[in-house]
Structure formats: C-alpha cells, structure tokens
Amino acid sequence: MSPKHNEEKISPLAPESFPPMPDIAGVALAAGACGLKKSSDSDLMVVELAPDTTAAGVFTRSLTASAPVQWSRKALRGGGQARGLIVNSGGANVFTGAKGMQAVERTVEAVADQFFCCPSKIFAASTGVIGKPLAFDKIIGALPRLKADLAPGAWQAAAKAMMTTDTFPKGATRTADIGGLDVTLNGIAKGSGMIAPDMATMLAFVFTDAALPADVLQTLLAEAVEKSFHRITVDSDTSTSDTVLLFATGQGGDHRPITGAEDGGLDDFRAKLAGLMVDLAQQVVRDGEGATKFITVTVGGAETDHAAKRIAFSIANSPLVKTAVAGEDANWGRIVMAVGKAGETIDPERLEIAIGGVPVAKAGGAVPGYDEAPVAEHMKGQEVNISVNAGTSGGGQATVWTCDLTHGYIDINADYRS
C-alpha cells in the first residue's frame, strides 16, 4: 500500500469505533509487521485454535483463484478440522504459478510446526497486489515472534493486519443461545475494493465457542453468506481471493449436542450468525474505496427472488446510478435504465420506483405532481434508499447494499501499486 493510502482519511461512513469483543475460549490471535508492505504497517496475523475445532468455508468462484484459496479448499475437504489460520496482506499470491503454491505450503508447514499439528489443519488467506510473488521467508521469520504474542483479545490488531486500501478495521460480535446456553460469535473482516457478489476482495473470519459438527457449520455458513456477502457490491469486480471461514472451538460449555443443521436448537445461533455477517458485509461497503454514501437497494414484485436480486444488482452496479448518488442528483431515469437492462421480466406499466420512501415513478412515467425537493433532500444524507417494484405477479424480493462512485475511487485505484 502506498504512503498515499496510509494518509487516507477514515471513511465518513465508518462506525464510531471498533466494537468491544469478548474472548472466545480456544482462540488466540497475534498480529505484526513482517515486511510485506512498502510501509511498516502490520501485514500478518495468525490464529491458534483449540484441538478439535471444526471449520467451514466459502470461497471465490473466480477461475483465477489464489493459491491460498486453493490450499484452504483442500484443507476443508480433509474433514473440516482446524488448528490454525495464517493471513497476510501486502500480496495476494494470485497468478504466481508453482512458486505461489510452494509459498503457501512452506508457510503452512511452518505454522503447523509452531502449533504441533499437521499442515492440513492450517488455513491460509492472502490479500494485496495480484501477480506478485509472496515473500514467504519473511512470513516464516516472523512466526516465532507472533506465536509468543498470541493472546485471546487481539481482535482489532488482527483485523488491522488484513487491511489494504481499507480505512478502518472491521469487527462484530454476537451472543447466541443454543439449548439454554449462551455461546459467543466474533467476526473480523477486510474489504474496500474489488467488491462484488461471489463475495469481494473480502476476507472474513468468524469464530465461536459453540460445539458444532463441520457439516452443520458448512450449511449455516452458506446460508449466512447468501444473506450477507453475496448481497454487496462496490465496483462489480469479483476478487480472486474471497474467503469466508467459520471456526467452532467447542470450548464454550456443554450445550446439548447438535447433529443436524435443521435442529430447532440452532434457530437463535442461525439468526445471530446471519446478523453478524450482514454487519461485517455492510462495514465492507461503508469502507468502499472513495465512498461517501451507503446505498440500500430493495426490489420487490419480481418473478422470483433470484430475479429480484439480479435487478437489484443491476441498479447497485450501475456507474450512472452510483455517480448520480455521489452528486446528490435525483435522476431516477438512471434507475429505470438499470432495471431495464437487468434481463429479468418486469411490467413497465406497473413498475414503481421510490427514493427515500418518496414515490418518483409509476404506471409508465413520473408520479403525477412529482415534487423532487424531498428526494433531493434525502440524497444529501449519507444513507440513500432506493426501492423498486418490478410490477409482476410474482413475490420475488431482494435487498443489496452498495456505495456511491466518486473521484476518490479513481484516485485510490490509479495509485494502488505506487
């Protein structure tokens, strides 16, 4: 990351502070600088997990997936067991050939040596410039120091170590009930640009002290990702490194055994996990490169939920819509354009559009007596809401989140490697 990026002001959409996050039994974290970044910023974090920790993961569907993504997919197929996690920023280790995979293998083996386990129980993730060989020797050299620094409360430091063009560290916590016993969920994430469904240049790691089988974790994670990280976009570019991992240490107490994902005892946990991941996903959007406004796009009246989602993303990914929001221009015609190009069935004569809850268009044209003043006032705020009824007889609906598109996005990405 260039000095310019370090000098970037914190996003105006950022939370007031990083949330207080409780310790989770069976989780210890450490972070520090190993020299992967041009600056002296923290660029490496490691997590040690208790024996018998279970794991689940969702990864990018990019056909040019990173070497760490390929490694972690393989580790997950090995039985869903985890003892550690190693994450670096300052280099994505993507499109680096055989040397890239060797770098992951050497790094993971070194972590496994520190944690006295087999390499297949170590997960890995990387973020940064694509095509740059990973200096794994620097990572390996820093591991003894990081192992000595492992502590249960280093959540914010770990989140900071993952940052690239991010302007603030991202974290969230929830408490859930399983069979009358409270369990804790903590999550940290990074992401600012190259954000689109399938998730984003987005790394997210969620930890719980619940005792849950790996197959149950996988089902719960997939459901939560669909409601969260698959509903965000900053620039419509799908990353090569998307990784969401969920770890369950089983160290939080003796709640009744859970044998299947449909167990009613998981209802609160399922809801809290989804809520935590929506929180993290929205923080990623709020830290969108150059963002000044957070946009919620809601679509109803579509033939199916899938159709509604496609229409919503057509709006959320439209540069014309996003720049209109940046300029606080209530140009609802651009929303009409984005709906029309989505390729999904709509009824133009029944199509309805509202901005900030104010109807602007229906029945094939502008609302009679339309007054733009309240819409223009709404668009001056940091939160902009766009809603569309596609006008079909179906009940399909979806909500996605995005941000505006400003000169700041160009400035950051034009200067990314300098």
Catalytically active residues are 201
Q: What is the 3-state secondary structure (H, E, C) of the chain?
A: CCHHHHCCCCCCCCCCCCCCCCCCCCEEEEEECCCCCCCCCCCEEEEEEEEEEEEEEEECCCCCCCHHHHHHHHHHHCCCEEEEEEEECCECCCCCHHHHHHHHHHHHHHHHHHHCCCHHHEEEEEECCCCCCCCHHHHHHHHHHHHHCCECCCHHHHHHHCCCCCCCCEEEEEEEEECCEEEEEEEEEECCCCECCCCECCEEEEEECCCCCHHHHHHHHHHHHHHCHHHECCCCCCCCCCEEEEEECCCCCCCCCCCCCCCHHHHHHHHHHHHHHHHHHHHHHHCCCCCCCEEEEEEEEECCHHHHHHHHHHHHCCHHHHHHHHCCCCCCHHHHHHHHCCCCCCCCCCCEEEECCEEEEECCEECCCCCCHHHHHHHCCCEEEEEEECCCCCCEEEEEEEECCCHHHHHHHHCCCC
